[in-house]
Amino acid sequence: MKASEGMFDESVIFVTKQGTQVRTDEGRIVVWDVDGDDGELASYPTEKLDTINVFGGVNFSTPFVARANEHGIVLNYFTQNGKYRGSFVPERNTIAEIRRAQYALSDDDELDLAKAMIAGKIRNARTLLSRKGVHGTDVLKDLGVRAENATNKDGLRGTEGEAAERYFNRLDETLTDGWTFEKRTKRPPEDHINSLLSLTYVMMKNEVLSGLRQYNLDPFLGVLHADRHGRPSLALDLQEEFRPIFCDAFVTRLVNRGVITHDDFTADNHLADEAFKTYLSKFDDYMQEEFTHPHFEYSVSRRKAIRQQVILLRKTMTGEMDEYHALTFDR
Amino acid sequence: MKASFRDELVPVSALNEYVYCPRRFYYQRYQDEIGTPYELVDGRSKHERQSRRGGWVRERYFRSNDLGLHGKIDLVESNDETLTPVERKRAESAEYYPSDEVQLAGYCMLLETALDESVNVGYIYLYSTDQRYAIQITENHRKTVREIVRHIRTMTVDSIPPLTDNPSKCEACSAREYCMPEETAMLEPDKAKGTGFEREERR
């Protein structure tokens, strides 16, 4: 079987150059250097795009925003350092039946979805460690079974927490000399590796969030993450299965290949400007990189595979499919 | 109570969509998930250009509560007092489909209701080959139209039509990315039972 033509492969763009404007020109979307003399920096066919991520001092022309609305293009705003600031979400008029289905999920339905996602995450954590030559992870296997058999959300959260701890304890062994992973710290990340993990989780969360919005699911109504004002719980839930196999794998690749070094960080553990640009471009490349899909057996980009998971999630919520099939890698 | 077409007139173009693939039609009707195929955009612009040239009666709207149908006929040709609907297709493959015949039959039936006299022939015109085909509208066509109207009007959001029995239709389908027919058959094989995606043991 062959993957159908690339609707998602170039669907997300990142605009990082300061002093630029995103505008429209004859049916295309153009990034224009307004402060400098470089003129048109890049242009994209409107139909292909679904997400534009902008960092810092980038602005949008009013006709462009109108077109983004018309074509269902989501705009995500970040600071120059990658801190998420908010989004422009286009209005779409056909969401009622989907939202109704999502809001009508019972506790049991939610638990089933969450179990599939967490069991998938634990499976993928084991696979990542094993790919990196870290063995003796049977305890993760047991926790995976426990996740599948969870009878309530609190139990499932407990299992997830235990699995994460066991997994992060071993993550250090995947890193090259000069890098260590002591423990997972956040808000703020206390070292460079944690800083890279946090940044990558934010970038991935936004990939998932854009996908959910694209398919008219409400990203704020989760199935496992507790409700909290302004927290995109469903995006965080769906992100779980991608964390080890995509996010952590990306971070280990960056440091193991020397793409990012300790010198690339500022005193407060942020990536310096140039390194951050490198990071974004590597992240985008990584999302467009193809792999053989473990279930569908064709070659597909990571970005498209994530969008497909959103579709599968939606199909499960609307009853079109019987269960949610997480993206899991056995080896 | 779930939304359905029960009390609404069915657009004639829906007959074509439904015959092509009921599942695709479902996505279009309830979930806005078919994308905008190039074919449609191109067809629209061709219609616009063509309908400015002189001669025939164009873009005429008809409706019939009895048939449960409504729609705009591209073009109605008049010859010796006989009115004949013309349905124009882009038809990259240089042929028309059974679903195009059904759509044409729907127009003929609308036209005869409006005129109160029988319309037994319609034309399908293909841009790609500049060919015109005269289609004899049979009792079978009429029956098919009535049946499809009934199916469409009783369709609900809770019952998704099965995967198509003819997977080759999926190749050019803009809903495929969302529909995921082969993927569905792999993940949940029972969903593919009796469809064109049912397969023997996997490799």
pLDDT digits (tens, 9 = 90+) for B155-200: 888 889 999 998 988 887 888 888 999 999 999 999 988 888 887 4
Lowest average pLDDT, out of A91-95, A184-188, A315-319, goes to A91-95
Q: Output B8 or A205, whichever has higher pLDDT.
A: A205
pLDDT tier for residue A10 given thresholds of 50, 70 and 90: low
* CA–CA min distance B29, chain A (Å): 9
| A310, two tokens | 């959103």
Has this prediction a pTM greater than 0.90? no
For an interface test with B, the pick among A320, A321, A327, A328 (most B C-beta atoms closer than 10 Å) comes out as: A320
Instruction: Supply the pLDDT for residue B39.
Output: 43
**pLDDT higher than threshold 80 for residue A179:** yes
Overall size of chain B counted in residues: 203
**pLDDT higher than threshold 60 for residue A1:** no
Q: Which of A42-51, A161-170, A211-220, B47-56 has the highest mean pLDDT?
A: A161-170
Residue A122 CA to residue A142 CA, distance in Å, equals: 10
pLDDT tier for residue A92 given thresholds of 50, 70 and 90: low
Look up the ipTM and state it. 0.81
pLDDT tier for residue A94 given thresholds of 50, 70 and 90: low
Percent of chain B residues topping a pLDDT of 90: 32
Mean pLDDT of all residues in B33-45: 47
Query: Mean pLDDT for chain A?
Result: 88
| B88, two tokens | 């124009």
Q: Does A45 touch chain B if contact means CB atoms closer than 8 Å?
A: no
Mean pLDDT of all residues in A235-250: 96
B29: which DSSP letter? Answer: I
Q: Is the peptide bond before A188 cis (omega within 30 degrees of 0)?
A: yes
Mean pLDDT of all residues in A88-114: 86
Q: Is B20 helix (H, G, I), strand (E, B) or coil?
A: helix
Q: Output A5 or B150, whichever has higher pLDDT.
A: B150
By C-alpha distance, the chain A residue nearest B192 is A321
**pLDDT per residue over B108-143, tens digit each?**
999 999 888 889 999 998 888 888 999 999 999 999
Instruction: Supply the pLDDT for residue A238.
Output: 97
* Chain A residues inside the 8 Å CB shell of B183: 295-296, 308
Query: Mean pLDDT for chain B?
Result: 81
**pLDDT higher than threshold 70 for residue A202:** yes
* Chain A residues inside the 8 Å CB shell of B180: 308, 311-312, 315
| A284, two tokens | 């985008």
E-strand spans in B37-130?
57-64, 69-79, 82-89, 121-126
* Chain B residues inside the 8 Å CB shell of A94: 30-32
Lowest average pLDDT, out of A11-15, A269-273, B98-102, goes to A11-15
pLDDT tier for residue B201 given thresholds of 50, 70 and 90: very low
Mean pLDDT of all residues in B2-7: 52
Residue B140 CA to residue A297 CA, distance in Å, equals: 43
Mean pLDDT of all residues in A285-294: 92
Q: Between A and B, how many residue pairs show a Cβ–Cβ distance under 8 A? A: 41
pLDDT tier for residue B5 given thresholds of 50, 70 and 90: low
Instruction: Supply the pLDDT for residue B82.
Output: 78
Instruction: Supply the pLDDT for residue A74.
Output: 84
**pLDDT higher than threshold 50 for residue B38:** no
Q: Does A321 touch chain B if contact means CB atoms closer than 8 Å?
A: yes
* Chain A residues inside the 8 Å CB shell of B191: 321-322
pLDDT tier for residue B54 given thresholds of 50, 70 and 90: very low
Q: Does A268 touch chain B if contact means CB atoms closer than 8 Å?
A: no
Residue A106 CA to residue A223 CA, distance in Å, equals: 10
Lowest average pLDDT, out of A73-77, A127-131, B3-7, B91-95, goes to B3-7
Residues ≥6 apart with Cβ < 8 Å to A284: A12, A14
* Chain B residues inside the 8 Å CB shell of A315: 180, 184
Q: Do A296 and B183 touch (CB under 8 A)?
A: yes
* CA–CA min distance B38, chain A (Å): 11
**pLDDT higher than threshold 50 for residue A157:** yes
pLDDT tier for residue B93 given thresholds of 50, 70 and 90: confident
**With left for phi above 0 and alpha for psi between -120 and 50, is residue A14 left, alpha or beta?**
beta
Instruction: Supply the pLDDT for residue A296.
Output: 93
| Residue A14 burial class via C-beta count within 10 angstroms: exposed 0-12, middle 13-18, buried 19 and up | middle
Q: Do B186 and A321 touch (CB under 8 A)?
A: no
Percent of chain A residues topping a pLDDT of 70: 96
Q: Does A296 touch chain B if contact means CB atoms closer than 8 Å?
A: yes
For an interface test with A, the pick among B170, B182, B199 (most A C-beta atoms closer than 10 Å) comes out as: B182
**pLDDT higher than threshold 50 for residue B91:** yes
Task: Of A75, A179, A99, give the one whose Cα is nearest residue A132.
Answer: A179
Q: Do B182 and A98 touch (CB under 8 A)?
A: no
Q: Output B86 or A6, whichever has higher pLDDT.
A: B86
| Residue B11 burial class via C-beta count within 10 angstroms: exposed 0-12, middle 13-18, buried 19 and up | middle
